[in-house]
Amino acid sequence: MEEILTFKVNEEYAGLRLDQFLAKVYPEYSRSYYQDLIEKGFILKEDKPIKKPSLKVKVGESYTVIIPPPQPLEVVPENIPLKVYYEDEDLAVVYKPPGMVVHPSVGHTSGTLVNALLYHFKNVSTYQGKERAGIVHRLDKDTAGLIIVAKSEFTHKELQKMFQNREIDKRYKAIVVGIVKKDHGIIDLPIGRSIYDRQKMGTVATNLRDALTEYWVEKRWEKHNLTMVDIKLHTGRTHQIRVHFSAIGHPLLNDQVYGFKKSKLGSSLAVELSNILNYHALVAYSLTFKHPRTNKDLHIQLEKLPEPIPYIIEKLDG
C-alpha cells in the first residue's frame, strides 16, 4: 500500500532545491530516492506533478509525496569496511559509522550495515528475515556507535528478551545546545508519534510509551553555549535521546530535525565547528551485558569517539 505524506516549507528550508528539502524534512529516504520519485511524478504541488528536482522551494508551499509500495528487496553481501570490537560463535559487537543506515529499506538498498554483515560474517541470524540479518537493535542513520549482532536464532531471541527486560546497559555521549544546569538528571517523558509532525516522534503525541533517559554533565562550555553529557538509556524508544533533550530545551548539536538552530550557539567558533560536523553529535560508545549463552559479563567500549568530535572538544576546551 502506498504512503502519502505532506510537507510545508518554513523559513528554515526556503530556497533549497526540492530534492534537498525532502531529504532534510524526511530523512528516512535518500536524496537520490526523492530525485527518482520526482522524475516519476510522485511529488505533487497543488495536485500537479513536479518533475524538476532543482526547483527552489518557497515559504508556505506544500508538497505531497507519494511513496509507492515497497518492492521485495534483494539483499546482497557488500565488501564495506567493518570494525569488529568483539566476536564469538554466538554474537558480535561492531561499530556503525554516522551516515550508514542499519538495514535495507526503500531508498536504501545498498551500503547498509546488514550488507556489510552478510559479507564479513560466515553466519548471521536471519530470524527476522535477510533484510534485518543479525539486527537486534538499531541506531539512527546519523548516530555513530556500537551495535550488537546476533549470529544465531538462539542468540537473537535471547538478546531480544534482554533488551525487553532492560538488561543491556547502553551508554551514549552527546553535545547539546545550551548550558544544562543539573550535574545529574532523569528525563521521564513518554514518547510517541508527534501530533504536530507525523514524521517525527515527540512528547506531545499519540500512542505514548514510557521513556526514561538518565544523564550526567561532563563539560560545560559557557562561552559557546554548549554542554557535553554522558547518557544512559533505560528504555529504547525511537529517537529517544534526541526527543528528550529537545523537550527540555537542549537539542543535540546539529540535530535539525529536533530543534537545533545555529543562532543559539554562543560563539563564532561553535558555528565553525558545527559546520565541519556532518551528523548530529550523538555516539553510542559503550555496551555492558551478560553473554546470552555463557552468562559471562561483557563490556565493550569505543577506544575513542569518532572524528571530528574529539577535534571539536579540543577546540571548545581552548
H helices present in 62-211, as ranges: 113-120, 153-164
- Write the CB contacts of 115 (distance below 8 Å, at least 6 apart in sequence): 75, 76, 77, 78, 80, 104
Contact 96, 57 (CB under 8 A): no
Per the annotation, the verdict on 88 as an active-site residue is no
Considering only CA atoms, give the Rg of the chain: 20
How far is it, in rounded angstroms, from Cα 66 to Cα 68? 6
H helices present in the chain, as ranges: 18-25, 31-39, 113-120, 153-164, 240-247, 268-276, 309-317
- Name the catalytic one among 19, 90, 140, 255: 140
DSSP single-letter state for residue 17: B
**Beta partners for 279?**
none
All three cell numbers of 231: 547518557
Contact 116, 97 (CB under 8 A): no
H helices present in 149-267, as ranges: 153-164, 240-247
How far is it, in rounded angstroms, from Cα 19 to Cα 17? 6
H helices present in 64-151, as ranges: 113-120
- Catalytic (active-site) positions: 140
